[in-house]
Structure formats: C-alpha cells, structure tokens
Structure 1
C-alpha cells in the first residue's frame, strides 16, 4: 500500500563491543541495508582510541552521513571489557540526507548515584520538507535509577525544546531503559503528566504500531541474552512531536525490527524500532 511521501526513522542499541562483534557488525550492516532508514539513532556505539568508529564504518558501507557523541565517562565500560581502555562508547546519528548542524548535551546524574557519562546528540537533518530536528540518547540502566533518568529526561527535554522549531516536529530516539508507564517516560512525553519542558509534547510511536505484533525490545531478566521470542520489555523508543502545519511528522506506523538472527547471529541484544513519518498530508 502506498502511504505517500514519508521519512523512515529508526533507533537501535548496538550492544557495544560485546559478544562476537565482528560477525555482529556484518549482521548490523545487512539489517540496516534491508530496513533502509533515512535517519537513524544509535546507542552503545564503539569507537577505538584514534582508530575506527562503528558509526563511521556503517556510514561508509551504507553511503550515509554520520555524527558521534563520545561518553565523557568510560570507566564502567572499560571494566566490562576486561580493562581495555582503547575502545570507548557513545551515541551516533546516521542520515541519508546532509546534516546541517549538530550539538550535544551532557546529561546529569542524581545525588547518591554514579555518573555514567550519558549525553544527548542532536542532528539537524536536511530532509525534503525539513529540516528535521533529530535527537538520540541512552539513559542510565539501573532498575533502581528512575530518579536519575527523571533528571536526565528534564535536561534532555530542555535540549530538545531549545532546538525544535520549523515545520517538522522533533524526533527523539534512544534506549531509555524504562518501560512506557515509568515516571521518566510519562514525564518526557508530557501528555500523561506535566511535561518536562514547558509546551513540549512527544508522541510515542509505539501507540501507532499494530497491537497484534511484538513490541518488546530487550529481555529485562537476562542482560546478556536475546529473548525476543518471550516477553521482553519495551525500553527503546521513537518519540515525535505533534505534526506540523501540513502534516509533517505524522506517525504513519511503527514496528519492531532486527529481532531475528542474520546468518545465525543476533546483531544486538536489543531489537530496533522503525517508524514512518509523513512529509506532508496524504
């Protein structure tokens, strides 16, 4: 069915450099080639010190533009990788269209909690009918860290509000490590409680997905296991502001992606989220 002119956006946590990362990155690039997102937010992107960056490697293979935000705190990641300090982690944006400008915002922690070095990355993308203000981030993961994530969401919302504007609504993507009914998600979306930034409302693309299809993106019970066939939690999101004056950004549909193995290997321990957004009424 022809859904009219649209832009495809996607978010995906790439599981840093865990597991068989060389085989996994081949599975990642094949999955992205099949899904063909126009703009893509990535989390847990690895970057070698002075060397290769996974986002850049993917962009070269796919013919896309890319920008990267390196985490300012790396110690926990290095410790999880056997103490190897040569490979860092961050978030990235890939785009088939030129990136007009970029910015990043350091996200806070909360008293009594560790600083995990989280950032939010903004890319203003020159799409047809745009520009599109696109954001991606990765919030603290702890099951008892909702207070941290609420603080991070307030900073993220202020960042989005500062850089939103124009006919296309902001698109905010990422691994929020929170399920839809958590305080931090209600706060960020701003339509079930007072918004984190005055006037900022973001629609969860999952609300426009086929309810008969799976929507979970991560197995909350087993951090290092891929359990997409069970009852995984939905912690990865595409959030979109209300449509523009000519219908720009209207969510036409959303679905889970990257949830099956490629040549016998799961590309990541997270599934991805794909959403198609209208470029205009139609």
Structure 2
C-alpha cells in the first residue's frame, strides 16, 4: 500500500490535532463512568496505521472512546513517522489517558510500528517482550494498572497474520504465556487483548485458552457459525472472520457484555479502521 508523502503526513497531523482537541481539557478531568469497584471495560482495535483519511478516522475513534470511557484500550498497528506523531499518543492525549507504546523498531528511529495500551488508571508497572520467532517482528506489551486500588495485569499483542501460519502463532502464544508467568504479580487478575489473526477456537491458542476465556465467545453462542454477524474484519474490505479478542481469567471475572465497535461508517462514509473493535465489560468475582 502506498504511503502518504512526508508533507502530506505533516498536513494530516495538523488536521488530526485540530479535529481532536476542541474541548479536550474538559474531558481529561471528567470522572464519568468511573470504575465502581466491580466492573472493568476493555477495548481492542487494530488501528490500520495511517491508511485512509487518518485525521477523520482519528476523530471518529476518539469521539466514540470519549463517550465510552473504557478502563483499558489495546491498539495494534500503531504508527509514528516523520510528520506523523505516534497515533496512540494522539488518541491518549485527546482522551486525557496515559499510554505506553512498544515496537521492535529502535527507539531512535523516526518510523516505528507496534502496539499500545491506553488507560485512565495509574500505571504500576510496564514492560514488553519481542515474541519468538523474532523474524516475525511481533511484541507483547504489558501494563499493571491500579483499578480501585487493586492491580490488574493487562497484555496486548498482535500475532502472525497468514492463514497458514498457525505454527508461528502457536510459538508466539507459548512465548506470551511464558512472559505472563514472569511479568504478572502473583494472584493478580489477567486480561489479554489484541488482534490474534485467527478465530478464538484455533488450535494454536490452546495454551492461552487452557486458563483464559474469550469474552465474546462466552456471550455469543453462535459466534463461530455466524461469521458475518460477528466478524471483526471490516466487511467493506474483507471476507468475514472474527480475529480480534479480549481474553479474561474466569476465576477472576464474569463477562457482562461483549460487543463490536466501529462496525458502521460515520455519516460521511468514513470507517474507523479496516477492523471492527471489540468492547468487553467484565465484573470482578467476589
């Protein structure tokens, strides 16, 4: 896909900031939808890097997330480049959220591509790991956040993309599981979100699903059969497939809802991404 030229990127960045930041000061201090000690909401979205009209897409994404005020937002295909500020930072600043970005690209490179986690809660710890095999350039990003005074372990990832690449995804999942085991605080509840590039019931995800559950699968009994109705690939661009997931520990959480986001274009025809997002609301078990 052809990239925008640097002057175009600079112009797009200016448009993005002007669209996003009208009235943002009032949002940053807003306590609406505050965590009540029982529920936590998690959103995952593949951001589609800078494809399409990024300023319009960013405005649509921020408008929706500003209304929902999720506790955690996992983003994939996050890009920064000359003339294009880090897209996760742009969204986080507009929402008044904290953010952490991870990429295998060196920190001093102008062009970096990776994953991010945004949160409106205090960050207690953070880290990331390049997933094996290293020549696939995938990472797992980890935050420990404080939600109502209790730690929550959040992991975001974006796994190998080819349909025939199940063995590669299996290696990445095993590496992710090993990372979770050493990075998480003992006994802290865990959430894993991201673009897995395969359905939740794919055999390569067995190591994760031995102890975690997919919130959308649990609450939609027909999710595996009704691909068009449950696809997280945008049907304006792709054949239906549900590959974006929010996984939770059933010992710690009960899923209350799991819905798609951004599955309709804006009034002007703008799509937020070539993926739909997923929002899961989880209730903490006593």
Task: Output the TM-score relative to the length of structure 2.
Answer: 0.78
The alignment status of 1:179 with 2:184, answered yes or no, reads no
Classify the secondary structure of the residue corresponding to 1:252: strand
Classify the secondary structure of the residue corresponding to 2:233: coil
For the 8 Å contact 1:59–1:94, the answer to whether it is kept is yes
Q: 2:43 aligns with which of 10, 14, 36?
A: 10
Deviations 1:209-230 (A, max 9, x none): 24478321015xx8xx435xxx
Q: 2:56 aligns with which of 19, 23, 28?
A: 23
1:235 aligned residue: 243
Classify the secondary structure of the residue corresponding to 1:106: strand
For the 8 Å contact 1:91–1:138, the answer to whether it is kept is yes
Q: How far is the alpha carbon of 1:8 from its aligned partner?
A: 0.6
For the 8 Å contact 1:130–1:167, the answer to whether it is kept is no
2:122 aligned residue: 98
Higher helix share: 2
1:123 aligned residue: 143
Give unpaired runs (5+ residues) of structure 1: 74-84, 191-200
Classify the secondary structure of the residue corresponding to 1:250: strand
* Aligned-partner Cα distance in 2 for 1:153–1:280: 26
Q: How far is the alpha carbon of 1:277 from its aligned partner?
A: 1.3
* Aligned-partner Cα distance in 1 for 2:51–2:104: 17
Deviation larger for 178-187 or 162-171: 162-171
Classify the secondary structure of the residue corresponding to 2:263: coil
Q: 1:265 aligns with which of 264, 267, 270?
A: 270
Q: How far is the alpha carbon of 1:30 from its aligned partner?
A: 1.2
* Aligned-partner Cα distance in 1 for 2:145–2:256: 20
For the 8 Å contact 1:13–1:43, the answer to whether it is kept is yes
The alignment status of 1:207 with 2:217, answered yes or no, reads yes
Aligned residue runs from structure 1 range 13-162, under 5 A: 13-48=46-81, 52-72=85-105, 86-109=110-133, 115-162=135-182
Deviations 1:39-59 (A, max 9, x none): 111100111259621111111
Change (3 A) 1:69 1:50: farther
